[in-house]
Chains A and B, each alone.
Chain A
Amino acid sequence: MATFVDQVREMGLKQATIAKVDEAVERFTSGLNVNDVRGMLRGDEPRRPNPRLRPHADGFWLHIRPSFYHTEVTHIYPTFRLGWLSTFMFVWETITGIFLMVFYTPSPDAAYSDIWNILGNVPLGQLMRNLHRFGAEVMVVVVALHMLRTFITGSYKHPRQFTWFTGMILLVLTLVLSFSGYLLPWDQLAYWAVTVAVSAAEATPGPEVIGTNINLLLRGAPVIGAGGLLRFYLLHVLLLPLLLAIFFFVHYYKVVIHGHSLPPGREAIGEDTGKRVPRDERTYFLPDIATSELMWTALTTLFLVAGAIWFYNAPLERQANPLVTPLHVVAPWYLAWSQGRLKLADKVFIAFIFIPGLATAFFVMPYFEVGKSRRYAHRRVGLTVAMLFIAFMWVSNWMGSPEYLVQSSPEQEVSQELLPQEGHSVLKGVPYEALEPGTYQPGQVIEGNPHLTKALQEFQAAMRRRSCALPGTDSPYETCRIQERGGQTTYANSFTNSAMPNPEAVLTIDDYQHNMRRLVLSFEVPNPEDSGTMLYDFERTAYRHELSNYEED
């Protein structure tokens, strides 16, 4: 073969350089020369034989991607791009996660302050954390919707049963991955969510030694500490992403092998034509699918960045304290259903029969649900069951909220709404300047102070839900229903069976120190049955520093 010098002699420097560049482009793209690339950008028809297929045959990056799709599956329906989006989110989480790893040490001594450092000191650190946490929640949503879509269009049916099976593995891995990241900030939210989840292992049926040892393996010690944090960190950044990547490729290989399933109405019942694509219904990967994926990459990035900047703020509570479980601790929303179910029944049943049973049913569903038709009209039972299941999960999720069965006494609940031990509230969000010293009634209107007025309206609303008026008194609340239960007198209103009769509650704000104000909620409820004693007598105190934008205890 002629050397570059020979070519220069033959064609001149300019032509020889162009030829060299052309050759380099063809090597780099595994088969497309400059004219082929420009032809794609111009929207020309490919020459024959089509060089745009060569990167799929010869190149590494595209060898797993199909060279063409059925045009019917390139529209937003039926896939909604959810599988692609799941993959995108995994890559997104990997990249943002690596950024966070640079500034994070998995040790109880350092982890929490590292997060504060990321939030307050590292350039773009808060954005990066928000992107990662927001991305994790979006990924859970996208993966769940992907499954729901696959169920609704009947795409799990023959021959794609195993694709569904591997998809279930990916769903479980996504949930565990998301949850394992929960512990890493080492705040109260993290610590208690993980403690509860890991303790469920202790309920393993069979000899006690099994449950105890599973628990020890996960916690790294009898209680979660340095060992447990390191274990969850390694799971989160190493083992689980690796497993997810492996099963992603198994899953995607099956997707490619069987082709995307067409919309149910597009093929005869019992037939699968996803892989037999007539020439005139092909949409080639290069350039059309690739362009569409670039556009989706841009749009999703825009959505995630805008969300993380303006609409989503990753929470950070106080540092993990193994000695205090905050009131109203909740599981992440995508696991709230399990917290709800755990309130109801025996934990052995929930953790080892109900949840694994549910998962197994999902895994093997395509092997048992063998109806031939994918059409919606023929799958009324299946689709109805799916909708009922969604409703069931919705109710279970609500049961996971503090509303259900973990209501404390009314004065604690009102305090919790206004000055929660962890998390945000309207009163906590009132600016320091607006916290004028004084004593305030629920619902009081402060002229020229909309922030405090709004917080006092919240105070009034909270009091209304948990207070009642004794008959014959002029308390502003709804009249009590007085009940005798279990030898005790209870006072009920239409919201709760445990209301405060004729309460006196005030919010007092005073200057506690220079630059620091004290907020005290005090409740006094005389016992109607025994004058001179108090049914409820309680104060909650919180402090607020001028320079802090968060509450200090």
Chain B
Amino acid sequence: MAEAAVSNGGMTRREFLYYIWGASMALFTAEITGLIIWFALPRFQEGEFGGTFTVPADQVPEKNAAPRDFPDGRFWLVNLDTTTDQGQERMYLVNDEAEPIVGVAAIYKVCTHLGCIYSWIPANDRFECPCHGSKYRLDGRRIEDPAPRSLDRFLIAALDANNEVLAVAEPDSNGVFKPLPLPEGTVSIRVDTGSRVDGASQPLICELRDSCP
């Protein structure tokens, strides 16, 4: 019979102590690695670049008009209404949407795919991302891939002349803020960019309309 490749003689005390020592050094290295990662993590305040923005009501776009850009807060304000015929070109319902979409929403300017800043292309009536070609409807819902979800939204509230809150956007079943129909007497809108909620992963609109490239 061939000799075993590894001798299976009993462990000596010296060998055992080497293993214990080695294991403790491995543990120590793992601890140091953890400490290095902890050390290298940046220090910042949550929502540092955001904060709360107050927008006068006259800066809110017209119903179904092109969105308005707020670069400081990194959001677009959109005013949606699928109930009128006049707005069908920009805001339309697709098969899986039963309720009309009405109200104002604040949409985060960053593409949900890999963080590029998409822009509004008026001729195509949609948001388009220059990096990998994701497309979104005016309300931020995905039209085309590769975005993994619809655009993220911020919490908005409608304020009256005394800065009293008249209404606050409600979350829908996915936790995403629904558009907020502005009540009578709204003078300004408060956008809280510290409260971003990820968009939902609904089916692509282009699949529902059979217009995918």
Spell out A's residues near B (CB within 8 Å).
192, 195-196, 198-200, 202, 213, 216-217, 219-223, 227, 322-329, 339, 342-347, 404-412, 485-488, 497-498, 535-536, 538
- Given A227-B42, A346-B146, A408-B121, A486–B209 Cβ distance below 8 Å? yes
Q: Please name all residues of chain A whose beta carbon is closer than 8 Å to the beta carbon of B49 when the two chains form the complex.
A: 222-223
A217-B131 in contact (CB<8A): no
Spell out B's residues near A (CB within 8 Å).
37, 40-42, 44, 48-49, 71, 74, 109, 113-119, 121-124, 128-133, 145-146, 148, 206, 209-211, 213
- Name the residue of chain B whose CB is nearest to the CB of A400: B132
- Given A326-B130, A343-B133, A405-B132, A196–B146 Cβ distance below 8 Å? no
A536-B123 in contact (CB<8A): yes
Instruction: Identify 12 residue pairs between A and B in the complex whose beta-carbon atoms are under 8 Å apart, listed by A's number.
Output: A200-B114, A221-B44, A221-B48, A223-B49, A322-B117, A323-B74, A325-B129, A342-B114, A346-B146, A346-B148, A488-B211, A497-B213
The complex places the Cα of A498 from the Cα of B209 at a distance, in Å, of 17
B117-A409 in contact (CB<8A): no
Q: A325, A405, A411, A538: which has the most chain B beta carbons within 10 Å?
A: A325
Query: Whole-angstrom distance from the CB of B204 to the nearest CB of chain A?
Result: 12
B211-A485 in contact (CB<8A): yes
Q: A227, A407, A408, A497: which has the most chain B beta carbons within 10 Å?
A: A408
* Option from A192, A322, A538 in Cβ contact (under 8 Å) with B123: A538
Query: Whole-angstrom distance from the CB of B157 to the nearest CB of chain A?
Result: 24
The complex places the Cα of A326 from the Cα of B113 at a distance, in Å, of 16
The complex places the Cα of A346 from the Cα of B42 at a distance, in Å, of 29
B210-A347 in contact (CB<8A): no
B148-A347 in contact (CB<8A): yes
A199-B115, A323-B71, A324-B119 known; 12 other A-B pairs, CB under 8 Å?
A195-B115, A196-B114, A196-B115, A196-B132, A199-B114, A221-B42, A323-B109, A328-B130, A343-B132, A409-B123, A536-B123, A538-B122
The complex places the Cα of A221 from the Cα of B115 at a distance, in Å, of 14
Q: B129, B131, B132, B209: which has the most chain A beta carbons within 10 Å?
A: B131
The complex places the Cα of A322 from the Cα of B110 at a distance, in Å, of 10
- Name the residue of chain A whose CB is nearest to the CB of B211: A486
Q: Please name all residues of chain A whose beta carbon is closer than 8 Å to the beta carbon of B148 when the two chains form the complex.
A: 346-347
- Name the residue of chain B whose CB is nearest to the CB of A350: B146
Q: Please name all residues of chain A whose beta carbon is closer than 8 Å to the beta carbon of B71 when the two chains form the complex.
A: 323
- Given A339-B132, A406-B133, A408-B121, A347–B113 Cβ distance below 8 Å? yes
A343-B121 in contact (CB<8A): no
A406-B132 in contact (CB<8A): yes
The complex places the Cα of A325 from the Cα of B130 at a distance, in Å, of 7
A220-B131 in contact (CB<8A): no
The complex places the Cα of A227 from the Cα of B43 at a distance, in Å, of 10
Q: Please name all residues of chain A whose beta carbon is closer than 8 Å to the beta carbon of B44 when the two chains form the complex.
A: 221-222
The complex places the Cα of A529 from the Cα of B54 at a distance, in Å, of 41
The complex places the Cα of A322 from the Cα of B117 at a distance, in Å, of 8
* Option from B128, B131, B146, B209 in Cβ contact (under 8 Å) with A408: B128
The complex places the Cα of A535 from the Cα of B123 at a distance, in Å, of 7
The complex places the Cα of A66 from the Cα of B74 at a distance, in Å, of 60
A347-B146 in contact (CB<8A): yes
Query: Whole-angstrom distance from the CB of B75 to the nearest CB of chain A?
Result: 11
B146-A192 in contact (CB<8A): no
- Name the residue of chain B whose CB is nearest to the CB of A412: B121
- Name the residue of chain A whose CB is nearest to the CB of B69: A323
The complex places the Cα of A324 from the Cα of B122 at a distance, in Å, of 17
Query: Whole-angstrom distance from the CB of B116 to the nearest CB of chain A?
Result: 4
- Given A195-B116, A323-B74, A411-B123, A329–B130 Cβ distance below 8 Å? yes
Q: Please name all residues of chain B whose beta carbon is closer than 8 Å to the beta carbon of A411 when the two chains form the complex.
A: 123
Query: Whole-angstrom distance from the CB of A299 to the nearest CB of chain B?
Result: 40
The complex places the Cα of A219 from the Cα of B114 at a distance, in Å, of 14
The complex places the Cα of A195 from the Cα of B114 at a distance, in Å, of 8
Q: Please name all residues of chain B whose beta carbon is closer than 8 Å to the beta carbon of A485 when the two chains form the complex.
A: 210-211
The complex places the Cα of A195 from the Cα of B129 at a distance, in Å, of 14
- Given A196-B116, A199-B115, A220–B121 Cβ distance below 8 Å? no
Query: Whole-angstrom distance from the CB of B94 to the nearest CB of chain A?
Result: 10
Task: Please give me the 10 A-B residue pairs with the lowest Cβ-Cβ distance, nearest first.
Answer: A486-B211, A486-B209, A409-B123, A199-B115, A406-B133, A405-B133, A199-B114, A325-B117, A325-B116, A343-B132
Q: Please name all residues of chain B whose beta carbon is closer than 8 Å to the beta carbon of A346 when the two chains form the complex.
A: 146, 148
A409-B146 in contact (CB<8A): no
Q: Please name all residues of chain A whose beta carbon is closer than 8 Å to the beta carbon of B118 when the two chains form the complex.
A: 325
* Option from A196, A213, A219, A498 in Cβ contact (under 8 Å) with B131: A196
- Name the residue of chain B whose CB is nearest to the CB of A487: B209
The complex places the Cα of A339 from the Cα of B146 at a distance, in Å, of 11
- Name the residue of chain A whose CB is nearest to the CB of B47: A222
Q: Please name all residues of chain A whose beta carbon is closer than 8 Å to the beta carbon of B213 when the two chains form the complex.
A: 405, 497
Q: Please name all residues of chain B whose beta carbon is closer than 8 Å to the beta carbon of A404 when the two chains form the complex.
A: 133
Q: A347, A407, A497: which has the most chain B beta carbons within 10 Å?
A: A347
Query: Whole-angstrom distance from the CB of B212 to the nearest CB of chain A?
Result: 9
Q: A345, A404, A405: which has the most chain B beta carbons within 10 Å?
A: A405
Q: Please name all residues of chain A whose beta carbon is closer than 8 Å to the beta carbon of B41 when the two chains form the complex.
A: 213, 216-217
B124-A408 in contact (CB<8A): yes
- Name the residue of chain B whose CB is nearest to the CB of A405: B133
The complex places the Cα of A344 from the Cα of B144 at a distance, in Å, of 11
A217-B114 in contact (CB<8A): no
A325-B42 in contact (CB<8A): no
Query: Whole-angstrom distance from the CB of B41 to the nearest CB of chain A?
Result: 6
* Option from B37, B48, B124 in Cβ contact (under 8 Å) with A217: B37
- Name the residue of chain B whose CB is nearest to the CB of A215: B115
Q: Please name all residues of chain B whose beta carbon is closer than 8 Å to the beta carbon of A221 when the two chains form the complex.
A: 42, 44, 48
Query: Whole-angstrom distance from the CB of B17 to the nearest CB of chain A?
Result: 31
- Given A217-B40, A486-B206, A538-B123, A406–B130 Cβ distance below 8 Å? yes
Q: Please name all residues of chain B whose beta carbon is closer than 8 Å to the beta carbon of A322 when the two chains form the complex.
A: 117
Q: Please name all residues of chain B whose beta carbon is closer than 8 Å to the beta carbon of A536 when the two chains form the complex.
A: 123
The complex places the Cα of A107 from the Cα of B131 at a distance, in Å, of 25
Q: Please name all residues of chain A whose beta carbon is closer than 8 Å to the beta carbon of B209 when the two chains form the complex.
A: 486-487
Q: Please name all residues of chain A whose beta carbon is closer than 8 Å to the beta carbon of B74 when the two chains form the complex.
A: 323
Q: Please name all residues of chain A whose beta carbon is closer than 8 Å to the beta carbon of B133 when the two chains form the complex.
A: 343, 404-407
B42-A329 in contact (CB<8A): no
The complex places the Cα of A63 from the Cα of B57 at a distance, in Å, of 78
- Name the residue of chain B whose CB is nearest to the CB of A345: B146
* Option from B42, B122, B129, B130 in Cβ contact (under 8 Å) with A219: B42
* Option from A199, A223, A409, A487 in Cβ contact (under 8 Å) with B124: A409
Query: Whole-angstrom distance from the CB of B210 to the nearest CB of chain A?
Result: 6
Q: Please name all residues of chain A whose beta carbon is closer than 8 Å to the beta carbon of B146 when the two chains form the complex.
A: 342-347
Query: Whole-angstrom distance from the CB of B39 to the nearest CB of chain A?
Result: 10
